[in-house]
Structure 1
């Protein structure tokens, strides 16, 4: 990689600025040269026209051809033409064969006459109509013009070199100043690493073009920091979730093997170990289910059915558990959905299990189906302790519990139920939300129709 690379945005900007400056200079230089050429042409024409107008051609041309030269008093080289032939001239400049016809044809067509050159120099012709089929050709020698334009081009060439040097210097300064905010952002981003994701790039002194980009970058870093924190917590939680039952199995097995036991005692230990293994298996299954849902790998068998029918069936099953706490489960509402029944059942079951775990004794749990124009909502409401507002945004995180001290109690799951519910809703482009106020908690599943 060379010091100057076209892959560099800085170098590209310098090149573009230089190219633009040179093109503008060449455009202006061409305008100047063209304007000067027109100026000299008009000047030559006016000078020649004044010489032509100083002679009374009407009287002169009535003289015999042999007397014309003596009657025409001018210092300009001229040729009197008639019928494409030269009838009088004071010039020693030879006209090439066929030149009178070419010049007359161009004049009559309204075109500018072509200049011609011989050993003595370069000549610019002008033709005038003197009447009675007489035409007067006068020329101006323009060698001085040529010399002027040669000098002008030398000046323009050196000026172009100066413009290039100035453009290089100015573009480097301008680009460096213009890209200085990017360098500022780059220096901040260099400090980002897995252990330092809470970097916030200040946007106060940034230009408008960068402010929105840096704002997005700050939001991304914030999300990455949150994601890394949750991943770290998730790793810790899953290790704890699996370590605890495995430690229980290990301890019970070692204690049992320490001495001879009765058959009943062995059966109790095996039953206890089986419960711990089932807890581990359920945790692993739930994690795999969430992973599949997040990556759209769940196999869905969508069928259209009445939502209230499934809700009533689920409520009947949980009503037995509710009787132990004196809780009644009330259902109402009607709607149709085209989703996988098993996934809907799992989502509602997780919410209902959560509601039974936290509902007050002798209270009601209400499951309501709302049939809205563009969506179907399933609301699960219970009376119980209000969920702290600070915990609401994290309820659907894996292994999250409002009360961290209640792990592995029979009334509390592994902390994956609500995460599974959210994954199911995302699989259907739906959503799950929660509201908890005044000892009333409502979870809402929203399915788009």
Structure 2
């Protein structure tokens, strides 16, 4: 069954079910017809038996019994196929029609065991349906007891048998033809019903690595296949998104690494173009070392980001106090803030417990604080606000500086995205905010950015840890 097609399976199942129903119907019809013929025969036999019973009640002597048998023979003239046999108590046949050559033992036995029920009697090549009964007469024996006789009434069922045989032959031929026709129609119906599957296959064959945006049609699909098509479309959407993200990531890597590699090659070729003193060589090597260090940091960041986006970074959680972590970051960035005459402000609860990966969470908060200090106006304040809600903890980092345009806010967490040249300072790789978002999402939280009225604000929302809620 595993190697045949779905069309063949359904066709065989449909034909099997239809055949079972037709065969059962055929047996019911055949049994019904046979029972009808039996009821017709029993009606005739019962009538004759009752007529005979009433007539024997009028027989009052042995002479009258003999005379009655002659009258009975005359009354059966014209009843073709009807046979009557009368047997006395000594199993002697006192009357029988021409073809009534039944065994007295069989007649007496049936009359004694199943009176009123018919049986099939065979005589040569003829088959009869017979009814036997013990009938009392009005004649008395020497002891003054009523004389009983055994009467057998039978009818030839050859005509019924021939008709039933022809009927059954026609019936089974019809059933066989109906089964064959059912198979053909079932195969056609199954092929028609499975046409949406072939349509899905044809549509799926169009999908390639270059055409992942193609989707299966769901509107005209049956309900059962529509759910499958929608699931396949969802899968294609995820593959398309992952493939696009991978392509963009590869393009971003190539774009970001091309410039430093080109600078290194150019500087090296220029230095090697003619002999130079040791100081010049040392200056070029120091410049190359700085560029290589930046590239190493970028590659490390990209590796971490790639793992985070593919769910490979699972934070090892421990008890973390957000308040202490923010204060530790303030101590780290205090010197940089003093150079720009910035104030670092922390507000909120004195202790905000959380289960998190300490190093990763510190890196995420450090990226936000570093960006806020880098882009803040001199003599302003960088504020960090901690909050506790019923279902989450919040961390807000805000600074006063240039307002970020709405179209940039939508892309600010993209890899290698940088704002316009007026906001570009330092030697960042453009991966800080993307890494921050991956870390927050890895902890089950969210991060959003807003900017208006020269105030830029990043808000982190982290769910309560079950152990600390």
TM-score normalized with structure 1 length: 0.81
In the superposition, relative to structure 1, how do residues 118 and 98 fare at CA in structure 2: closer, same or farther (>3 Å)? closer
Note if 1:39 corresponds to 2:56. no
Note if 1:432 corresponds to 2:446. yes
Question: Per-residue displacement from partner, 1:362-415 (whole Å, max 9, x unpaired)?
Answer: 554443444344444434344555655556665544x241548799x6536323
Paired residue for 2:122?
A: 117
Per the TM alignment, residue 282 of structure 1 is displaced from its structure 2 partner at its CA by: 1.5
Note if 1:353 corresponds to 2:370. yes
In the superposition, relative to structure 1, how do residues 275 and 321 fare at CA in structure 2: closer, same or farther (>3 Å)? same
Distance 1:34 1:104 in 2: 28
> Which region of structure 1 is more displaced relative to structure 2, 372-381 or 246-255?
372-381
Task: Identify which of 27, 47, 51 aligns with 2:48.
Answer: 51
> Unpaired runs of 5+ in structure 1?
none
Per the TM alignment, residue 45 of structure 1 is displaced from its structure 2 partner at its CA by: 1.7
Paired residue for 1:343?
A: 360
Per the TM alignment, residue 59 of structure 1 is displaced from its structure 2 partner at its CA by: 0.8
Note if 1:93 corresponds to 2:101. yes
Contact 1:82-1:134 at 8 Å conserved across structures = yes
In the superposition, relative to structure 1, how do residues 243 and 11 fare at CA in structure 2: closer, same or farther (>3 Å)? same
Paired residue for 2:140?
A: none
Paired residue for 2:113?
A: 105
Paired residue for 2:139?
A: none
Distance 1:405 1:84 in 2: 134
Note if 1:77 corresponds to 2:83. yes
Matches within 5 A, 1:32-431: 32-55=29-52, 56=54, 59-60=57-58, 64=62, 67=66, 69-70=69-70, 72=72, 73-74=75-76, 76-78=82-84, 90=96, 92-95=100-103, 100-101=108-109, 104-106=112-114, 114-127=119-132, 136-293=151-308, 298=313, 300-325=315-340, 326=342, 328-333=344-349, 334-383=351-400, 395-397=412-414, 399-401=415-417, 403=419, 410-411=425-426, 413-428=428-443, 430-431=444-445
Per the TM alignment, residue 63 of structure 1 is displaced from its structure 2 partner at its CA by: 5.4
Per the TM alignment, residue 116 of structure 1 is displaced from its structure 2 partner at its CA by: 4.2
Contact 1:375-1:447 at 8 Å conserved across structures = yes
Contact 1:60-1:71 at 8 Å conserved across structures = no
SS at 1:378 equivalent = strand
Contact 1:122-1:141 at 8 Å conserved across structures = yes
SS at 1:54 equivalent = helix
In the superposition, relative to structure 1, how do residues 385 and 178 fare at CA in structure 2: closer, same or farther (>3 Å)? farther
> Unpaired runs of 5+ in structure 2?
137-145
Per the TM alignment, residue 106 of structure 1 is displaced from its structure 2 partner at its CA by: 4.6
Distance 2:287 2:410 in 1: 36
> Which region of structure 1 is more displaced relative to structure 2, 269-278 or 163-172?
163-172
Distance 2:304 2:407 in 1: 27
In the superposition, relative to structure 1, how do residues 139 and 343 fare at CA in structure 2: closer, same or farther (>3 Å)? farther
Contact 1:79-1:87 at 8 Å conserved across structures = yes
> Which region of structure 1 is more displaced relative to structure 2, 31-40 or 86-95?
86-95
Note if 1:22 corresponds to 2:37. no
Distance 1:311 1:135 in 2: 119
